Structure 1
Amino acid sequence: MPTPSTPQPWNGALFIGGAFVPAEGGRTSTVYDKAAQVPLGEAGLASPADLDRAAREAAVAGRAWAAADFGTRADVLRDVAARLRARADEFAELIVRETGSIRGKADYEVAGAVDELHQAAALAGHVRAETLPSRAPGRESIAERVPLGVVGVITPWNFPLVLAMRVLAPALAVGNSVVLKPSPHTPLSGGLLLADLFAEAGLPAGVLQVVPGGQDTGEALTAHPDIAMVHFTGSSAVGRIIARDAGERLKKVSLELGGNNALIVLDDADLDQAGQIGAWSAFHYQGQTCITAGRHIVQRPVFDAYVAELAARAGRITVGDPTGDGVGLGPMISVEQRERARKLLDEAVGAGATVVAGGDGDGLFHRPTVVTGVTPQMALWTEEIFAPIAPVLAVDSEEEALAVANDTSYGLVDAIVTGDLARGGRLAARLGAAMVHVNDSTCLDEAHVPFGGRAASGLGGRAGGESNLHEFTELRWLTYQHTPIHYPY
């Protein structure tokens, strides 16, 4: 990608009205390479006034976009997909540097974003009306799906490209305009470079606005009267605040939130498979995903062997600058995130837990860590960790495994490893998570599947495929009276 000194239209800017413009007062924030801790560039820092302008312009521009032929909207999305594929290396390198992820994860993001665009382009032609029967003579009765208007989107830093695209692409496909506030950690790959792609593809000015900013910008987005829906991906704590604020305004809200996900290893599991699944579920992208397995629940006959397998795999993972050869884990996103993980681990060890592998690291780096001797009362077990730490707990039966797995306020994803798929299916039916995977990782996602959580892990619909049609449109009842009507007065 271009060096930070190379002039870029997005550097230090917001994207409003189809152009890169300075924020009010010229406010900017510096974006850093997470491993090297050197500046990558600047992003504009939107004020509430900037957000107000963006939302008002999106409402105006959205009217013509909603009226556009569905083929026009689909063509723009396919054009963006082609441009993203052509610039894949640029985006992947930026994701590596901006998020601290390894190149494989960055390549996955780019490919996933392309998939989201193609799925959304296909969705554009599925916005149908349905003719309904009526008891009234001469009445033609229709239920039609219509765009919501302006969709406000607040995205996280861990998968900035694909998690932005999975919302804005379908929202645009069905005729909405979008105001996107990317995370302050990743405003480039998660926002401003995306805007550059859409502008190149000919998206009309004002239909996509990108306003990097902080808490005040997010609060202004949630409160703005021109924003019909707020979609937030992030922590459950912040999600509750957004749900409260949107609820006070009777505004539609969709929340994709955190998870403290269980990986259950049954006593008939293939331990090599269990080790692979456990390591990927716990350590992928430094454990900084909502679908990370933060609770490893293992039947006692295979407990020691599973711990040994997981610890061996953790010990073989190289931690370092993600641009280096053979590196499996990069830095954590921030000092705050790193210190929180250290605090949870130290508290658990102080209460009797044992670190079997890993345990620490320098700077923002944290070695993949396996912990035994945990109890269900420890914060390391009950809270979403967002770090490469795998607490492992022994249980004596399937019933105990189910009880422990379901003893959580979250409801995102669980996984089961077993030598008997039928046994896994029976167990899956009794788990409380919205997604369950048998003999695979908790860390699964595809553009066309109904992805999402329940309870403290989510509110609203699901992302993916036809689910997006219901998420980003609403039903309107339309009637035509073909014969004269007669009322008593």
Structure 2
Amino acid sequence: MTPADEARKLLERLGVTCGGSLESRSPIDGQVIGSVAEEGDVTSACARAQEAFLSWRLVPAPRRGELVRLLGEELRAAKEPLARLVTLECGKIVQEGLGEVQEMIDICDFAVGLSRQIYGLTIASERPNHRMIEQWHPLGPVGVITAFNFPVAVWAWNAALALVCGDPVVWKPSEKVPLCAEAVMALARRAMERFGDAPDGLLQCVQGGRDVGQALVEDERIALVSATGSTAMGRKVGPKVAERFGRVLLELGGNNATIVTPSADLDLAERAILFSAAGTAGQRCTTLRRLIVHESIADAFVERLKSLFARIKVGDPRDADTLVGPLIDASAFEAMRNVIGETIEQVDAVPGGYYVRPAIVEADVQQGTMLKETFAPILYVLRYSDLDEAIALNNAVSQGLSSSIFTNDLRESERFLSASGSDCGIANVNIGPSGAEIGGAFGGEKETGGGRESGSDSWRAYMRRQTNTINYGSDLPLAQGVEFKVAP
């Protein structure tokens, strides 16, 4: 079955009606698989979101969590067709598509629990008969801008938390994957219908190109802009939002490294490296791009990896034995070829698609191309002699998203996780840098943007903090013992 034929059937199952000027092309064969209307009226969407906020913020948080629970139910029921649509539209293999939808379900579960755990603090006051507390209130409408490589999960990370925190959401998806967004919105509408009294404008999607994203970023009614994409995009979004004193949550580029030490379990390491470097055809922000191997084991270990990479099945992502699907489009292919030249190895898989074999590139020093993130399956290999050198190599890039070390030496692992170790937002031991659980906060430092999404206390980004002092006495003592009295 062609991707276009399969997409039509999936969209029908998901309750999506296609039609419009924004076309979606499957990276499997480059053919159009559907189209949607470009809904570029951001001003109207933001006005509706602001109106929805005025009522949604007053709904008790556990009741808001009920809507997210219903959304999770809809996602569970539609997991298989939505995952297949992800595969068709962004080229992920079926297992990764299923994993992405499961990630949506997991964040819904997390957010439902959170709806009863939005805790403040009781703070000891220095003044007698005074009490201080800290509480959290809904922030306002949230604008979510997502990239093609995670066409549904990143919206869910933001939307599930925003909803329980009391915030409406306006979503601008990548124009490369508009069908996935329409399918998710169809499921969200079903959940809101079952919920019964969700305000109009609570969850919206505005389709289109950069002009739509720019309008969302500049609208003063959007209290928080959560944007996922390149560092170049973040350099534009951050200042624009700052100009109007809005908040940003930026998830930008990654240039992630793994250190392999002499004590490492090499069987474990090679399996992790395989997925981290080749998964999603290297098109993840957490993709492993730099492998830092101790010089005493490097030659033999790299040969093992080359043999393993040579056996990877590259092809139609719908096939069960495929591990690496296509690059998203011609521009991604050209970016990879510009970096490694004619050594790029194309695979004759499906006509019209851009299929490449993951490349392992030996490097003596961190050359210029290695310091930049190329969204393609290129793994650079570096050698080191002592751990301090390896950590310095890990940190010697402008991005700071994810990192890992393979070692059975407790001192090495603790050194890597210490304040003078990895400078990334994510630092793992004996697993790769790619693939994160919902429970932990996701995000990175430096040019990765500093944002945190998903687990832990990431919910605080979607709320405003308020400190309250209550005087239940009859005197009015001032803080710091200040005396302020009018003479009789």
> What is the TM-score with the length of structure 2 in the denominator?
0.89
Q: Residue 127 of structure 1 corresponds to which residue in structure 2?
A: 118
Question: Structure 1: any 5+ residue segments left out of the alignment?
Answer: 14-26, 350-354
Q: Residue 23 of structure 1 corresponds to which residue in structure 2?
A: none
Cα distance change, pair 397–134 in 1 and its aligned pair in 2 (3 A): closer
Give distance in 1, aligned partners of 2:374 and 2:170: 30
Give distance in 2, aligned partners of 1:64 and 1:376: 54
Matched residue SS, 2:391:
helix
AA aligned to 1:389 is I
> Can you list the C-alpha shifts for 1:72-92, whole angstroms capped at 9, x where unaligned?
211111111111111111101
User: Does the alignment pair 1:431 with 2:422?
Assistant: yes
AA aligned to 1:470 is R
Instruction: Choose from 312, 315, 327 the match for 2:310.
Output: 315
RMSD: 2.3
Give distance in 2, aligned partners of 1:402 and 1:141: 44
Give distance in 2, aligned partners of 1:273 and 1:132: 47
Instruction: Choose from 216, 222, 225 the match for 1:221.
Output: 216
C-alpha deviation, 1:451, in angstroms? 1.4
AA aligned to 1:390 is L
Give distance in 1, aligned partners of 2:142 and 2:227: 11
C-alpha deviation, 1:141, in angstroms? 4.3
Instruction: Choose from 35, 38, 46 the match for 2:39.
Output: 46
> Can you list the C-alpha shifts for 1:313-371, whole angstroms capped at 9, x where unaligned?
1111111111124111111111111110110112xx8xxxxx6xx73345411111111
Give distance in 2, aligned partners of 1:392 and 1:123: 42
Name the stretch that deviates more: 291-300 or 140-149: 140-149
Q: Residue 184 of structure 1 corresponds to which residue in structure 2?
A: 175
- Would the aligned equivalents of 1:62 and 1:207 in 2 still touch at CA under 8 Å? yes
Q: Residue 263 of structure 1 corresponds to which residue in structure 2?
A: 258
Give distance in 2, aligned partners of 1:278 and 1:57: 46
Matched residue SS, 1:179:
strand
Q: Residue 422 of structure 1 corresponds to which residue in structure 2?
A: 411
C-alpha deviation, 1:274, in angstroms? 2.2
Q: Residue 248 of structure 2 corresponds to which residue in structure 1?
A: 253
> How many pairs were matched up?
462
Give distance in 2, aligned partners of 1:283 and 1:396: 26
Q: Residue 404 of structure 1 corresponds to which residue in structure 2?
A: 393
User: Does the alignment pair 1:64 with 2:55?
Assistant: yes
- Would the aligned equivalents of 1:77 and 1:169 in 2 still touch at CA under 8 Å? yes
Summarize the alignment of residues 38-437 of structure 1 with structure 2, pairs less than 5 Å apart. 38-47=31-40, 50-134=41-125, 141-189=132-180, 191-202=181-192, 203-346=198-341, 359-361=345-347, 363-379=353-369, 381-429=370-418, 430-437=421-428
C-alpha deviation, 1:111, in angstroms? 1.0
C-alpha deviation, 1:444, in angstroms? 2.5
Matched residue SS, 1:146:
strand
- Would the aligned equivalents of 2:170 and 2:203 in 1 still touch at CA under 8 Å? yes
Q: Residue 3 of structure 1 corresponds to which residue in structure 2?
A: 8
Cα distance change, pair 36–294 in 1 and its aligned pair in 2 (3 A): same
Give distance in 2, aligned partners of 1:111 and 1:163: 12
- Would the aligned equivalents of 1:153 and 1:181 in 2 still touch at CA under 8 Å? yes
Cα distance change, pair 155–467 in 1 and its aligned pair in 2 (3 A): same
Q: Residue 467 of structure 1 corresponds to which residue in structure 2?
A: 457
C-alpha deviation, 1:293, in angstroms? 1.0
- Would the aligned equivalents of 1:12 and 1:29 in 2 still touch at CA under 8 Å? no
Q: Residue 481 of structure 2 corresponds to which residue in structure 1?
A: none
Give distance in 1, aligned partners of 2:456 and 2:264: 35
Q: Residue 31 of structure 1 corresponds to which residue in structure 2?
A: 24
Give distance in 2, aligned partners of 1:137 and 1:423: 51
Q: Residue 20 of structure 1 corresponds to which residue in structure 2?
A: none
> What is the TM-score with the length of structure 1 in the denominator?
0.89
Matched residue SS, 2:250:
strand
C-alpha deviation, 1:118, in angstroms? 0.7
C-alpha deviation, 1:383, in angstroms? 1.1
C-alpha deviation, 1:132, in angstroms? 4.0
Cα distance change, pair 277–140 in 1 and its aligned pair in 2 (3 A): closer
- Would the aligned equivalents of 2:241 and 2:248 in 1 still touch at CA under 8 Å? yes
Give distance in 2, aligned partners of 1:373 and 1:447: 35
- Would the aligned equivalents of 2:55 and 2:199 in 1 still touch at CA under 8 Å? no
Cα distance change, pair 425–64 in 1 and its aligned pair in 2 (3 A): same
Matched residue SS, 2:442:
coil
AA aligned to 2:150 is F
Give distance in 2, aligned partners of 1:260 and 1:478: 43
Name the stretch that deviates more: 174-183 or 365-374: 365-374
C-alpha deviation, 1:474, in angstroms? 1.1
Give distance in 1, aligned partners of 2:104 and 2:379: 29
C-alpha deviation, 1:131, in angstroms? 4.1
Q: Residue 195 of structure 2 corresponds to which residue in structure 1?
A: none
Q: Residue 3 of structure 2 corresponds to which residue in structure 1?
A: none
- Would the aligned equivalents of 1:257 and 1:290 in 2 still touch at CA under 8 Å? yes
Matched residue SS, 1:297:
strand
- Would the aligned equivalents of 1:123 and 1:466 in 2 still touch at CA under 8 Å? no
Give distance in 2, aligned partners of 1:409 and 1:62: 38
Cα distance change, pair 482–404 in 1 and its aligned pair in 2 (3 A): closer
Give distance in 1, aligned partners of 2:155 and 2:404: 26
C-alpha deviation, 1:431, in angstroms? 1.6
Cα distance change, pair 402–468 in 1 and its aligned pair in 2 (3 A): closer
C-alpha deviation, 1:481, in angstroms? 5.6
